[in-house]
Amino acid sequence: METDIEKAARLIKAGKVVAFPTETVYGLGANALDAAAVVRIFEIKERPAFDPLIVHIAHLKDLPLISTSTDERVMLLAEKFWPGPLTIVLPKTKLIPDIVTSGLPTVGVRMPNHSMALEMISTAGCPVAAPSANKFGRVSPTNAAHVRKQLPCVDFVLDGGPTKVGIESTIVTLHESGFEILRHGFITREQLEEVLPYFQGESKAKTAAAPGMLKSHYSPIKPLYLLSDKILGRADLNNAGFISFSGIYNNRFENIVMVSKNTLLSEYAVNLFSAIHSLEESNNIEYIVAEPVNDEGIGMAIMDRLRKAAYQYL
């Protein structure tokens, strides 16, 4: 009997598109060396061709297939953070089709820290290009049901239960003088600084076609607001779904999703997208209110996602 992991690997080898779990969010994967298969990812996601994909590997020995980099810092980062939620943007090889990188000379690479993902990639025998498995601009999936809700036509969903990190990987690029964070994630600047010096430059992401950097992204289908005095003054708070972190404001709301038991930012990150998904689906909720946190550590990544989700309602 073929296992689900073997089936997912076989489909990827055959040029199909498969959703699979990682430690961050579910990915929508295809053979990164097969341009036609990668085109299907863009079609299924309704993703514009200017938004490049991350390539996932299971073994460090496969990195030279994907990147020409000889930068010693890549090994330092890989040793410390892989497998794990860190994507490194590196010069690409000719083997990687232009569609994967949206024509950029660079490619984002990461090794996910999830046994099913690693086994699937290993068994498929090719690097796997995968964006988050949601419609473009919408909230990323943290379980298999979220994927099926948004992408019912995907060839197969490899179900690995809920994801452990809950927000997407940190994306870094390397400059001569240090590193630059293109997208905040679970791995914080402080953790990266322990390995590499920090580059205080202007973000190149604005011109590097990285819509993860767009001001509006992660849009829920209902309005999402950050908690403020103005919001607390609304007369219709009973129609709101509240994403609560500290518990301090719980007496003001009727519909509450607590994202943390122990007031830990890592718990907020794990539960944030799943809270948005459940409030999106809840019939008696007209709009969502989320409790903000300080822009420190993982709070940077949480606030990045919340500001983008709230952007059109600011």
Residues that bind ligand TXA (CB under 6 A): 22, 24-25, 27, 51-54, 85, 87, 89, 101, 104, 106-108, 112, 130-132, 168-169, 171, 182, 208, 210-213
Which of Mg ion, ligand TXA, none does 107 bind, CB closer than 5 to 8 A by kind? ligand TXA
Report the C-alpha gap between 221 and 187 in whole angstroms. 28
Which of ligand TXA, Mg ion, none does 166 bind, CB closer than 5 to 8 A by kind? none
Report the C-alpha gap between 227 and 51 in whole angstroms. 31
* Nearer of residues 52 and 160 to ligand TXA, judged by Cβ: 52
Q: Is-contact 187 172, C-beta < 8 A?
A: no
From the list 26, 39, 32, 40, the residue with the least C-alpha distance to 13 is 32
Report the C-alpha gap between 24 and 170 in whole angstroms. 10
Query: CB under 5 A: which stretch of 29-37, 130-138, 171-179, 298-306 binds Mg ion?
Result: 130-138
Which of ligand TXA, Mg ion, none does 67 bind, CB closer than 5 to 8 A by kind? none
* Nearer of residues 7 and 40 to Mg ion, judged by Cβ: 40
Beta carbons within 8 Å of 276's beta carbon, 6+ residues apart: 139, 220, 224, 243, 288, 309
Binding residues for Mg ion, rule CB under 5 A, total: 1
* Nearer of residues 169 and 274 to ligand TXA, judged by Cβ: 169
Q: Is-contact 52 104, C-beta < 8 A?
A: yes
Alpha-carbon Rg for the chain, nearest whole angstrom, is: 19
Cβ at position 147, least distance to Mg ion in Å:
12
Cβ at position 5, least distance to ligand TXA in Å:
17
Which of ligand TXA, Mg ion, none does 89 bind, CB closer than 5 to 8 A by kind? ligand TXA
Which of Mg ion, ligand TXA, none does 150 bind, CB closer than 5 to 8 A by kind? none
Binding of Mg ion at residue 169 (CB under 5 A)? no
Beta strand segments in the chain, E: 18-20, 27-31, 54-56, 86-91, 106-110, 128-130, 156-157, 170-175, 178-183, 224-226, 240-244, 255-258, 287-290
Which of ligand TXA, Mg ion, none does 155 bind, CB closer than 5 to 8 A by kind? none
Cβ at position 173, least distance to ligand TXA in Å:
7
Query: CB under 5 A: which stretch of 53-61, 131-139, 174-182, 263-271 binds Mg ion?
Result: 131-139
Binding of Mg ion at residue 132 (CB under 5 A)? yes
Q: Which positions from 73 to 112 touch Mg ion by CB under 5 A, shown as an x/- string?
A: ----------------------------------------
Which of ligand TXA, Mg ion, none does 87 bind, CB closer than 5 to 8 A by kind? ligand TXA
Q: Is-contact 107 100, C-beta < 8 A?
A: yes
Cβ at position 2, least distance to ligand TXA in Å:
24
Binding of Mg ion at residue 274 (CB under 5 A)? no
Backbone region of residue 263 per phi and psi (left: phi > 0; alpha: psi in -120 to 50; beta: other values): left
Report the C-alpha gap between 263 and 256 in whole angstroms. 15
Report the C-alpha gap between 231 and 244 in whole angstroms. 14
Query: Helix 298-310 vs helix 265-281: angle between axes, to the nearest 10 degrees?
Result: 20
Residues that bind Mg ion (CB under 5 A): 132
